[in-house]
């Protein structure tokens, strides 16, 4: 994708955020710093096309993400997918953002986990996604080397592997801990932990 010299660089942090945790926040901050992004917009998937197991309501995942980013001036959260009734397709989200005069000329960097990116050919309109943004794929150091070659060339050239020492936290593990009655302290921001307990999520 061509990159205009002075275009605003905006990170789009896509994820189910079920729940959001320090791994996501650290990945967004690393991406912001390393790609010199102006800001990062978190977009919790409202009705993810690909999963439903123990999925907290979209409104709760939006609220938790909003609580999680409170102390970072570079982060914001968008309701763009939370408010959409039908499936949350990434290409539609990117198209909607591009129609917003604030972002028409911006360079969008869609940040997500490398595992998710490896599956991108099964997403709706992967070519449209590749034309609308660069894809910042977050993974552990050394993880991408052989895997990236499995992506088709037109997708691969938009992917920026962002290798970083990831915090070993996953949404699946957090939900399991909650079901087992174990603590999630220091894995998610205190405000998110409080929200999960008060709302009785994931039990």
Binding residues for ligand NAP (CB under 6 A): 13-16, 23-24, 27, 45, 48-51, 88-90, 111-113, 115-116, 123-124, 138, 170-172
* Closer residue to ligand NAP (CB): 26 or 156: 26
Beta carbon of residue 197, minimum distance to ligand NAP (angstroms, whole number): 19
CB 145 within 8 A of CB 118: no
CB 37 within 8 A of CB 31: yes
* Closer residue to ligand NAP (CB): 101 or 165: 165
Strand pairing report for 75-77 and 107-113? unpaired
Beta carbon of residue 154, minimum distance to ligand NAP (angstroms, whole number): 16
> How many Å separate Cα 183 from the centre of its chain?
24
* Closer residue to ligand NAP (CB): 5 or 191: 191
Beta carbon of residue 5, minimum distance to ligand NAP (angstroms, whole number): 27
Name the closest residue to ligand NAP (Cβ): 113
* Closer residue to ligand NAP (CB): 106 or 120: 120
Beta carbon of residue 24, minimum distance to ligand NAP (angstroms, whole number): 5
Buried b (16+ CB within 10 A) or exposed e, 68-104: bbeeeeebebbebbbebeeebbbbbbbeebeeeeebe
* Closer residue to ligand NAP (CB): 23 or 161: 23
């Amino acid at each position: 994708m061509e990159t205009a010299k002075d275009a605003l660089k905006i990170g789009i942090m896509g994820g189910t955020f079920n729940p959001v945790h320090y791994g996501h926040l650290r990945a967004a901050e690393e991406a912001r710093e390393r790609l010199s992004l102006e800001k990062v917009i978190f977009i919790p998937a409202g009705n993810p096309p690909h999963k439903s197991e123990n999925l907290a309501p979209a409104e709760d995942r939006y609220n938790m993400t909003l609580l999680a980013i409170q102390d970072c001036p570079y982060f914001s959260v968008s309701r763009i997918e939370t408010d959409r009734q039908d499936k949350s397709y990434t290409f539609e989200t990117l198209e909607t953002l591009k129609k917003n005069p604030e972002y028409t000329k911006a360079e969008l960097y869609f940040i997500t986990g490398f595992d998710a990116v490896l599956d991108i050919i099964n997403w709706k309109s992967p070519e449209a996604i590749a034309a609308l943004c660069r894809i910042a794929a977050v993974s552990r150091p050394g993880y991408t080397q052989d895997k990236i070659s499995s992506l088709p060339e037109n997708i691969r050239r938009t992917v920026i592997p962002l290798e970083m020492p990831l915090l070993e936290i996953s949404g699946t593990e957090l939900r399991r801990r909650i079901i087992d009655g174990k603590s999630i302290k220091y894995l998610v921001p205190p405000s998110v932990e409080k929200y999960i307990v008060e709302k009785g999520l994931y039990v």
